[in-house]
């Protein structure tokens, strides 16, 4: 089977996961619906953009473009499932203020504006999409990072497990707290995950990340993981009661 055909199947399987979730939600009756919880908005951040392309693969593939392709799909799937979303950029642009002149000023302004756009939402849930890069080519596999601990960690764990189960059984990476040098994730107050979808420095993974079918599969898994954390309760077999519907609880009382 060609790589492309394989990812079409995988993306169908990932969309099937969403279908199963939908059946569960419908079957469980009116107590659970996929209408967005009151006031909650999923902010989707396609990392980088404009002059800041982020990491670059050996074939010239720019991280910002892959981030945008996956983020657009994630936005479409979550919207289809009744969620209120906010996509921070829908084209190849930086979000800097007009008076930013140097590349450094533009980057700083862009990050400040992204943080403001998240924090101005009273009940945001942030999903930031990035691609990884490492000088040695052998490293591969998606990894999920989280901010704001108790709410972010179970969400990141679920996403990491689903990415492994649906897309990459060989991926033994675990979710991790975000490092202190990632500006956006350290300057927001809402539950947040950052998904490093794969390594542009690994030739095999780079080929997959460029494939539209794989991009859809990634987006479907990230979307399904969010919906599971938002709507599921313990008895469906996916998690404990304490971790269930964690994202439904308001951040502020
Ligand atoms: Zn990045």
151 by DSSP, 3-state: which? helix
Strands, DSSP E only, in the chain? 40-46, 85-87, 123-132, 143-147, 176-177, 192-199
pTM for this entry: 0.85
149-163 residue pLDDT tens: 788 999 999 999 999
pLDDT of residue 165 exceeding 70, the answer is yes
The pLDDT tens digits for 58-78 are 999 999 999 999 999 999 999
Region 168-194: what's the mean pLDDT?
96
Residue 15 pLDDT greater than 50, yes or no: yes
pLDDT at residue 18 above 90?
no
**Which pLDDT does position 151 carry in this prediction?**
81
Dist. CA 82 → ligand 1 center (Å): 28
pLDDT band at 253 (very low <50, low <70, confident <90, very high): very low
pLDDT, tens only, 87-98:
999 999 999 999
Q: How far is the CA of 182 from the centre of ligand 1 (A)?
A: 10
pLDDT score at 149: 75
Percent of the chain, pLDDT > 90?
73
- In the reported structure, the alpha carbon of residue 93 is separated from the centroid of ligand 1 by a whole-number distance in angstroms of 14
Q: Is 80 exceeded by the pLDDT of residue 12?
A: no
- The percent of residues in the chain predicted with pLDDT above 70, rounded, is 78
Cα(135) to ligand 1 centroid in Å equals 15
Question: What is the Å distance from ligand 1's center to 23 Cα?
Answer: 35
**CB–CB of 102/168 below 8 Å?**
no
For residue 72, report the distance from its CA to the centre of ligand 1, in Å.
16
Cα(53) to centroid of ligand 1, in Å? Answer: 8
Task: State which CATH number among 3.40.50.170, 3.40.50.2300, 3.40.640.10, 3.40.630.40 fits the domain covering 3-15+35-147+154-248.
Answer: 3.40.630.40
Per the prediction, the chain carries an average pLDDT of 86
How remote is the CA of residue 224 from the centroid of ligand 1, in Å? 23
What is the tens place of the pLDDT at every residue in 116-151? Answer: 999 999 999 999 999 999 999 999 999 999 998 788
Give the Å distance between the CA of 190 and the centre of ligand 1.
20
pLDDT confidence bin for 249, thresholds 50/70/90: low
CA distances from 123 to 41, 80, 220, 223, 245 (A): 6, 20, 23, 18, 15
240-245 mean pLDDT: 47
Q: Please write the tens of the pLDDT for every residue from 27-58.
A: 444 445 677 888 999 999 999 999 999 999 99
Across the range 104-127, mean pLDDT stands at 97
Gyration radius of the chain over CA positions:
18
Paired with 132 in beta bridges are 199
- Residue 240's contacts (CB-CB under 8 Å, 6 or more residues apart) are 234
Sheet hosting strand 123-132, strand order edge to edge:
85-87, 40-46, 123-132, 192-199, 143-147, 176-177
Ligand 1 centroid – CA 47 distance (Å): 6
Going by pLDDT thresholds of 50, 70 and 90, the confidence category of residue 102 is: very high
| For residues 197-215, average pLDDT | 98
- Higher-pLDDT residue of 13, 241: 13
Q: Is the pLDDT of residue 103 over 80?
A: yes
Question: Residue 243 gets which letter from DSSP?
Answer: T
225 CA distance to ligand 1 centroid (A)? 21
């Amino acid at each position: 089977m060609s790589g492309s055909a394989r990812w079409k199947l995988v993306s169908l399987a990932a969309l099937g996961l969403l279908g199963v979730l939908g059946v569960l939600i419908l079957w469980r009756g009116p107590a659970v619906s996929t209408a967005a919880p009151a006031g909650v908005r999923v902010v989707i951040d396609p990392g980088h953009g404009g002059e800041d392309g982020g990491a670059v693969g050996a074939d010239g593939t720019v991280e910002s473009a892959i981030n945008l392709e996956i983020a657009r799909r994630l936005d479409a799937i979550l919207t289809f499932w009744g969620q209120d979303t906010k996509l921070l950029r829908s084209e190849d642009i930086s979000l800097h203020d007009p008076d930013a002149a140097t590349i450094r000023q533009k980057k700083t302004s862009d990050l400040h504006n992204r943080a403001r756009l998240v924090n101005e939402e009273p009940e945001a849930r942030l999903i930031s999409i990035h691609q990884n890069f490492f000088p040695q080519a052998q490293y591969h596999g998606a990894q999920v990072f989280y901010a704001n601990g108790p709410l972010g960690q179970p969400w990141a764990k679920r996403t990491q497990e689903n990415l492994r189960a649906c897309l990459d059984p060989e991926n033994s990476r675990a979710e991790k707290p975000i490092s202190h040098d990632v500006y956006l994730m350290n300057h927001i107050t809402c539950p947040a995950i950052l998904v490093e979808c794969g390594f542009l420095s690994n030739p095999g993974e780079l080929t997959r990340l460029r494939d539209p079918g794989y991009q859809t599969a990634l987006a479907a898994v990230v979307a399904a993981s969010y919906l599971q954390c938002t709507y599921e309760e313990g008895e469906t077999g996916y998690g404990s009661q304490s971790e269930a519907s964690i994202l439904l609880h308001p951040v502020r009382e």
